[in-house]
């Protein structure tokens, strides 16, 4: 069963073997692999070793695993040897481990001439560095190498910690060749990296942070929510700043009669602020977490409707005004492209301004963007 699953993944990775594969669309990756070596030679520092290993393993090496760059087996073998020496671990072993991960089966170590060659090359490079400068090897190269592996481990963990998760930020996907489209990559492992943006899955779990920074999801948002719950002073502050931002954005627009707030939060500041600004409006809080709703409900006005279910980007909401929280766990970019209501307010980080916008608080690093259909 496991062997069959792994074989299926390998077949999907190579796409169609009968189609000739030239460097073509991967010429940039090949050129950057050469540049990586040049950078290490010019700036042989722990930082460049660590981040170079992490970046290459998740872009060049990762794409090469799924879709070898060359038509020639020999050329692919030589490039695999080059990457092994450059990154400090055998690419054949990395490939088998990664494909086993996609198949959902344990790694079965298989010895081969190719693997032996790559192991010898890595050992030779390490020996050469040690003989050239033992101090550099012990105090610079080895710590940088281990830090790079740690970054790779963190990347892999946060890509899958809460289920396979994508990140649709433009900058990260530009620098990392669409590595952020991770749910799409798992669904179509043989698809070329350049085609992943056209395969976005509407049900994909998404994060506003790239994998290496995804720990911030739980660090600053939930921690701040719980801190506000314990402090009446902070509650008054966030209510005032949110009400001011809402008033500025809604001023001049038709008065909404039906409002849906996605995500009640632990302290439901949006519902409380909008109740003051929009007396008489029907306000509904839509949240997938029963635990969050249980905490927020006693604080809500008695006429607020509460519904426990998940909102999926692209879904239309039957309301005049929809509000999306900063802690929304989904494809925020799709909400901007396809807002759920005629008027939608999207909480976002202060550096992400979209159209009409109002800063909630510089201290909170938060703004609200107005999106209309």
Query: Which domain covers residue 247, as residue numbers?
Result: 217-372
Burial letters for 260-272: b for 16+ Cβ neighbours within 10 Å, e otherwise? bbbbbbbbbbbbb
249 and 179, same structural domain? no
232 and 194, same structural domain? no
**What's the Cα-to-Cα distance from 348 to each of 24, 26, 157, 335, rounded to whole Å?**
38, 34, 25, 12
Q: Say what the pLDDT of residue 25 is.
A: 80
How many CA atoms lie less than 13 Å away from 71 in the CB half-sphere? 6
Question: What does the pLDDT look like over 243-259, one tens digit per residue?
Answer: 999 999 998 899 999 99
Looking at the chain, list the stretches that DSSP marks H as alpha helix, in order from N- to C-terminal side: 2-13, 27-42, 46-58, 60-66, 73-87, 91-103, 113-132, 134-136, 142-160, 170-175, 182-187, 216, 223-229, 232-250, 269-277, 290-296, 332-337
Domain termination residue (choose one: 162, 196, 212): 212
- What is the 8-class DSSP label of residue 161? B
166 and 288, same structural domain? no
Task: Give which of 364, 367, 336, 356 is closest to 249, Cα–Cα.
Answer: 356
Q: Say what the pLDDT of residue 15 is.
A: 42
153 and 40, same structural domain? yes
249 and 175, same structural domain? no
Domain termination residue (choose one: 212, 232, 259): 212
Question: What does the pLDDT look like over 3-14, one tens digit per residue?
Answer: 544 544 554 554
227 and 130, same structural domain? no
CB atoms within 10 A of CB 251: 8
Q: Say what the pLDDT of residue 226 is.
A: 64
221 and 202, same structural domain? no
Domain termination residue (choose one: 193, 212, 231): 212
233 and 201, same structural domain? no
Q: Say what the pLDDT of residue 23 is.
A: 62
184 and 72, same structural domain? yes
231 and 83, same structural domain? no
80 and 46, same structural domain? yes
Q: pLDDT truncated to tens, each residue of the chain (373 aa)?
A: 445 445 445 545 544 343 345 567 899 999 999 999 999 999 999 999 999 999 999 999 999 999 999 989 999 999 999 999 999 999 999 999 999 999 888 888 888 999 999 999 999 999 999 999 999 999 999 999 999 999 999 999 999 988 899 999 999 999 999 999 999 999 999 999 999 999 998 888 888 889 998 877 665 555 566 666 677 887 888 889 999 999 999 988 999 999 999 986 678 888 999 998 999 899 999 988 888 888 888 888 888 999 998 898 889 999 999 999 888 877 888 899 999 999 999 999 888 898 899 999 887 778 999 999 8
58 and 167, same structural domain? yes
Tell me how many domains the chain contains.
Answer: 2
């Amino acid at each position: 069963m496991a062997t069959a699953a792994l074989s299926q993944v390998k077949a999907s990775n190579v796409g169609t073997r009968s189609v000739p594969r030239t460097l073509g669309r991967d010429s940039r990756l090949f050129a950057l692999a050469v540049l990586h070596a040049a950078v290490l030679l010019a700036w042989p520092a722990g930082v460049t070793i660590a981040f170079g290993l992490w970046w290459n393993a998740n872009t060049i090496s990762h794409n090469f695993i799924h879709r070898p760059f060359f038509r020639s087996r020999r050329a692919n073998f030589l490039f695999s040897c080059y990457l092994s020496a450059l990154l400090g671990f055998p690419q054949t072993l990395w490939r088998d481990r990664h494909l086993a991960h996609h198949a959902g089966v344990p790694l079965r170590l298989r010895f081969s001439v190719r693997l032996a060659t790559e192991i010898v090359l890595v050992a030779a490079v390490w020996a050469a560095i040690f003989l050239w400068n033992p101090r550099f090897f012990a105090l610079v190269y080895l710590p940088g190498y281990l830090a790079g592996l740690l970054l790779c481990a963190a990347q892999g963990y946060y890509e899958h910690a809460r289920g396979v998760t994508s990140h649709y930020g433009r900058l990260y996907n530009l620098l990392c060749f669409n590595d952020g489209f991770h749910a799409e990559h798992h669904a179509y492992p043989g698809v070329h990296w350049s085609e992943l943006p056209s395969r976005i899955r509407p049900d994909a779990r998404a994060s506003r942070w790239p994998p290496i920074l995804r720990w911030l999801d739980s660090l600053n948002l939930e921690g701040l929510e719980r801190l506000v719950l314990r402090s009446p002073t902070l509650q008054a502050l966030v209510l005032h700043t949110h009400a001011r931002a809402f008033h500025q954005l809604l001023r001049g627009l038709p008065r909404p009669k039906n409002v849906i707030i996605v995500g009640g939060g632990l302290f439901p500041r949006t519902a409380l602020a909008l109740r003051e600004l929009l007396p008489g409006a029907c306000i509904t809080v839509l949240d997938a977490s029963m635990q969050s709703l249980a905490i927020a409900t006693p604080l809500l006005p008695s006429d607020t409707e509460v519904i426990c279910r998940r909102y999926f980007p692209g879904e239309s909401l039957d309301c005049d005004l929809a509000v999306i929280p900063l802690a929304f766990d989904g494809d925020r970019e799709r909400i901007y492209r396809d807002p759920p209501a005629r008027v939608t307010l999207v909480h976002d980080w202060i550096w992400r301004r979209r159209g009409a916008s109002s800063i909630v608080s510089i201290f909170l690093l938060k703004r609200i963007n107005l999106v209309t259909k």
